[in-house]
């Protein structure tokens, strides 16, 4: 699958982790992680802290899938607002999902601190503004339910948004001060470097898994070059390409667009460099990286890479125009643009755990706008289950909700 095209900023900003190590002979190990993106990196990190032996396989170079294209905003707010999610899956589970995402941001921060990795992690506020009248009503309901469950949230009116943040909006917004951003490519590659050095973690790149089956003794994987890997457990961290390992389609693949500006004088940016997104669907979202601005959005309902790429110029113009309407005093000129495959689920939640009726093939699929926070949650749940520990979050994110 063509996961992204154009010029993703992160691969220009960071040196490529050029690690050529295809699997050349059959292998036997405890746990195989399929995928070396941010999910595989966080998963490997969690397992390296235990007594469990694992290795990673990837058909590409390390972390050059979706993680290299990610705009990497970290928010506890999920694509499906809490008030709507509560109607879909019940208030208790919806609140658990939101609280787990909130905790996940601190857990990602702790992982980077513990490994002494500088992946440009920054704590920032986040503004969720009402795009129209429907959005105003949504924000009122959302404020009420988040307040009730003591999730961090404040109300801002239109005047405050203009005065404090230079924003021209239809109405007010929700603000939370518990968001963050990072460089997901840097985080993933640095985590792998750390564990290769510290734990002799084996990573087999340019090794495509063509089949994966659960047997009474464990799991058997076949690579495209006809090598066999036998192991006790498999963890599928294959991102938007995981469909190959699932008995049924669980997610919808879509397309998304992103651009980064020329560097801008700091005095011209908005205060606090808060993350910004809106109630409209699909939504536009904005963050900074140093003194550049990143904008994303304009999602399309299809996943045909050629059709997706053809729209790149048109989407760039639309995103630039929306940004100018939102922050008219902030200069913005796109320098790099890119697009990628994306995925959503009906309830906005990821799929974490085993498929019902199986025991040894775990999935860590962080689908949706909170992909990275979900990856962290998945890594913890799967690590806990593999160690025989209970995890109260497992049913909220498990396949049981659709099977």
Ligand X SMILES: Cc1cc2nc3c(=O)[nH]c(=O)nc-3n(C[C@H](O)[C@H](O)[C@H](O)COP(=O)(O)OP(=O)(O)OC[C@H]3O[C@@H](n4cnc5c(N)ncnc54)[C@H](O)[C@@H]3O)c2cc1C
Instruction: Point out which residues bind ligand X (CB under 6 A).
Output: 3-4, 34-40, 57-60, 65-67, 69-73, 184, 208-209, 237-239, 241, 244, 256, 258, 296, 340, 342, 366, 369-373, 375
Q: Residue 361 in 3-state DSSP? A: strand
Specify the residue, 112 or 258, whose C-beta has the smaller distance to ligand X: 258
What's the rounded Cα separation, in Å, for the pair 347 and 362? 20
**Smallest separation, CB 167 to ligand X (Å):** 19
Specify the residue, 7 or 155, whose C-beta has the smaller distance to ligand X: 7
Specify the residue, 157 or 304, whose C-beta has the smaller distance to ligand X: 304
**Smallest separation, CB 234 to ligand X (Å):** 11
What's the rounded Cα separation, in Å, for the pair 75 and 77? 5
Specify the residue, 2 or 87, whose C-beta has the smaller distance to ligand X: 2
Q: Give 70-87 as a DSSP string.
A: ---EE-S--SS-HHHHHH
Helix (H) or strand (E) run with residue 259 in it: strand 252-261
**Smallest separation, CB 339 to ligand X (Å):** 7
Among left, alpha and beta (phi > 0; psi -120 to 50; other), residue 205 is: beta
**Smallest separation, CB 81 to ligand X (Å):** 17
Distance of alpha carbon 6 from its chain centroid, rounded? 19
What's the rounded Cα separation, in Å, for the pair 93 and 116? 34
Specify the residue, 209 or 386, whose C-beta has the smaller distance to ligand X: 209
**Smallest separation, CB 25 to ligand X (Å):** 17
Specify the residue, 173 or 212, whose C-beta has the smaller distance to ligand X: 212
What's the rounded Cα separation, in Å, for the pair 397 and 379? 12
Specify the residue, 172 or 348, whose C-beta has the smaller distance to ligand X: 348
Q: Which two tokens stand for residue 397?
A: 């994110």
Chain residue whose CB lies nearest ligand X = 371
**Smallest separation, CB 235 to ligand X (Å):** 11
**Smallest separation, CB 213 to ligand X (Å):** 14
What's the rounded Cα separation, in Å, for the pair 290 and 40? 27
**Smallest separation, CB 388 to ligand X (Å):** 25
Specify the residue, 172 or 191, whose C-beta has the smaller distance to ligand X: 191
Residue 75's contacts (CB-CB under 8 Å, 6 or more residues apart) are: 101, 105, 126, 176, 179, 275, 369, 370, 373
Angle of the 133-148 helix axis to the 82-89 helix axis, nearest 10: 70
Among left, alpha and beta (phi > 0; psi -120 to 50; other), residue 370 is: alpha
């Amino acid at each position: 699958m063509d996961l992204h095209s154009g010029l993703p900023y992160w691969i220009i900003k960071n040196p490529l982790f050029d690690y050529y190590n295809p699997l050349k002979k059959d292998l036997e190990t405890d746990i195989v992680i399929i995928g070396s993106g941010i999910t595989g990196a966080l998963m490997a990190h969690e397992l390296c802290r235990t007594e469990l032996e694992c290795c990673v396989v990837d058909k590409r170079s390390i972390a050059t899938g979706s993680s290299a294209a990610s705009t990497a905003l970290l928010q506890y707010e999920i694509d499906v607002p809490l008030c709507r999610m509560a109607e879909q899956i019940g208030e208790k589970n919806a609140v658990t999902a939101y609280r787990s995402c909130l905790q996940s941001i601190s857990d990602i921060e702790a992982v980077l601190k513990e490994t002494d990795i500088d992946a440009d992690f920054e704590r920032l506020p986040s503004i969720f503004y009402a795009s129209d009248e429907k959005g105003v009503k949504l924000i009122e309901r959302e404020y009420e339910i988040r307040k009730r469950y003591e999730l961090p949230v404040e109300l801002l009116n239109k005047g405050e948004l203009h005065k404090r943040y230079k924003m021209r909006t239809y109405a007010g917004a929700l603000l939370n001060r518990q968001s963050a951003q990072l460089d997901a490519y840097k985080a993933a590659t640095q985590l792998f470097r750390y564990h290769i050095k510290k734990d002799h973690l084996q990573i087999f790149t340019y090794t495509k898994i063509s089949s994966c089956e659960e047997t009474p003794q464990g799991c058997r994987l076949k690579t495209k070059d006809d090598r066999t890997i036998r192991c006790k457990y498999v963890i599928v961290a294959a991102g938007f390409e995981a469909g190959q390992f699932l008995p049924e389609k669980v997610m919808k693949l879509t397309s998304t667009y992103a651009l980064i500006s020329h560097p801008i004088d700091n005095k011209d940016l908005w205060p606090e460099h808060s993350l910004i997104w809106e109630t409209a669907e699909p939504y536009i979202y904005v963050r900074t990286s140093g003194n550049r601005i990143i904008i994303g959005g304009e999602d399309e309902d299809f996943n045909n890479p050629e059709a997706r790429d053809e729209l790149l110029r048109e989407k760039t113009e639309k995103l630039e125009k929306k940004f100018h309407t939102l922050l008219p005093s902030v200069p913005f000129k796109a320098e790099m643009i890119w697009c990628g495959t994306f995925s959503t689920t009906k309830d906005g939640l990821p799929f974490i755990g085993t498929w019902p009726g199986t025991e040894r093939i775990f999935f860590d699929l962080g689908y949706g706008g909170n992909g990275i926070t979900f990856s962290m949650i998945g890594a913890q749940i799967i690590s806990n289950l593999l160690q025989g520990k209970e995890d109260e979050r497992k049913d909220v994110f498990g396949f049981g909700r659709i099977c």
